[in-house]
Amino acid sequence: MRQWVASVAVGFVRACVVMVVSMLIPAVWAGAVALWIWWWGGNPWSGIAPFLWACIGTFALSRPVCRMIRSLVAKWMGTVIPAVYRQPGPVTQMSTGYWWNGYSYERTSRDARLDQQWRTRWRDPALWRDLRFTAIAPVTAGVIAAVPPAGAAAAVFGLFQSSPTIFVAGAVVAVASAPYAWRAVEPVAVRFLRPSTGMNAMTLADRVDELTAQRADTTIAQAAEIRRIERDLHDGAQARLVALGLSLATAEKLMETDPDQAKALMREARAGATTSLTELRELVKGINPPVLTERGLVDAVRALALDSPLETAVSTDVQLRLDPPIESALYFGVAELLTNAVKHAHATRARISIARDDTGVVVEVEDNGRGGADVLPGGGLAGLHHRLAVFDGALEVTSPEGGPTRARMVVPCASL
């Protein structure tokens, strides 16, 4: 008996919730009609505003209503209905200074993101799926869920009107339908909110857009890296090698007339050659550290920790040899995070952990700095995010004000 009473009470509450959520958009249109009747003054244009606001309200509420329905179905029945909404892709600044959002070039990042959000929303097939559901749900699940509240209202009406027949009939309808009326929302939601074949195509299209943006990022990064290498060679090793050649030419002329001066020039040339060799090694190390190539990611990170001004501890229980591009991305990711900890967070200690799980390689970097780190467009963390995204990786940064900052890099990899 107690269980039956509980099922009636719970079912009645759930039926009321389903009815209210399903009838939100019809209520907006009912309000528009009432406003139109009240506002009508003989001018046909005076009736446009209420229906315009009703259309705006429908578009604004369609997605929240569908999300609430999915949440209720998952919570009450355990049926998960994927949303599959199209997500805006990254916005990239090109070498021309314009911003590419996947659809058009804009002068500022704000304009590019605003244009991208509107285009993504309007071109998302899920928008029309949600609108279709908000039109169907009120006349299916909404009407059925309204039976218990309607019965209860009839019972109250009969009680106040001293009509036993209406009271009994309303109470019977409310009690008998309460445990079942709310369940109609599940088949309706599954039928009209589940992703269709078009949604799978949309997912593939989003992936193509994402790869296009990543290609643009990679092109820009490669161009910047080439310019950096050219600048380092021109300003460093090339200048020293030119000076070395002049010193050797002068020493050759002075060899017979002034041997002591020639020997001094040759000593300077030897010192210049040593310095040039050191600069070239540092340049090569910045492109691809030899320890990373020879000994792998773990030992390379340990060497990086030894060179860091922070008190850095490296912990790992695995020995990994990954594909060289993945090792390079993770290595330079750790280097970027340690640099940020020193330069921006003013940290004194850091902890690096390297592990693997069912998804792939997981590298965590934590420091005791002041926190407040955020992934900003054009920043170092955004560049690291794009570097990992090339391998379907992800970057998660948790950095509350006051610290600590914890960054987690995850890269799926089958070569473990």
Q: How far is CA 409 from the centre of its chain?
A: 13
Q: Final residue of a domain: which of 287, 309, 339?
A: 287
- Are the CB atoms for 323 and 415 separated by under 8 Å? yes
Q: Final residue of a domain: which of 287, 314, 332?
A: 287
Q: How far is CA 35 from the centre of its chain?
A: 42
Q: What is the CATH number of the domain that holds 264?
A: 1.20.5
- Domain assignment present for 307: yes
Q: Which two tokens stand for residue 395?
A: 């970057």
Dist. CA 253–CA 250, nearest whole Å: 5
Q: State whether 270 and 314 are in the same domain.
A: no
Q: State whether 253 and 149 are in the same domain.
A: no
Q: Final residue of a domain: which of 195, 220, 246?
A: 195
Q: State whether 281 and 303 are in the same domain.
A: no
Q: What pLDDT score does 26 carry?
A: 87
- Domain assignment present for 19: yes
Place of tokens 């009747």: 37
Q: What pLDDT score does 296 carry?
A: 79
- Domain assignment present for 275: yes
Residue 230, burial from CB neighbour count under 10 angstroms (0-12, 13-18, 19+): exposed
Tens of pLDDT, residue by residue, the chain (416 residues): 677 778 888 888 888 888 888 888 888 888 887 777 776 655 566 667 778 887 888 888 888 888 898 888 888 888 888 877 777 767 777 656 777 777 777 788 788 888 888 787 777 778 888 888 888 888 888 888 888 888 888 888 888 877 888 888 888 888 888 888 888 888 888 888 887 655 555 555 555 555 555 555 554 555 555 565 566 555 555 556 666 676 667 776 777 777 777 777 777 777 767 766 666 666 555 556 677 777 778 888 888 788 777 788 888 876 767 777 777 778 888 888 888 887 777 788 888 888 887 767 888 888 888 777 776 666 667 777 777 776 777 788 887 887 788 888 888 765 44
Other beta carbons within 10 Å of 244: 19
- Domain assignment present for 374: yes
Q: Which domain holds residue 38?
A: 2-85+124-195
Total domains in the chain come to 3
- Domain assignment present for 205: no
Q: State whether 78 and 167 are in the same domain.
A: yes
Q: State whether 178 and 44 are in the same domain.
A: yes
Q: State whether 46 and 165 are in the same domain.
A: yes
- Domain assignment present for 204: no
Q: State whether 236 and 170 are in the same domain.
A: no
- Domain assignment present for 13: yes
Q: What pLDDT score does 416 carry?
A: 47
Q: State whether 191 and 234 are in the same domain.
A: no
Q: State whether 248 and 349 are in the same domain.
A: no
Q: State whether 39 and 139 are in the same domain.
A: yes
Q: State whether 305 and 390 are in the same domain.
A: yes
Q: What pLDDT score does 382 carry?
A: 73
- The DSSP string of 163-227 is -HHHHHHHHHHHHHHHHHHGGGHHHHHHHHHS--HHHHHHHHHHHHHHHHHHHHHHHHHHHHHHH
Q: State whether 14 and 147 are in the same domain.
A: yes
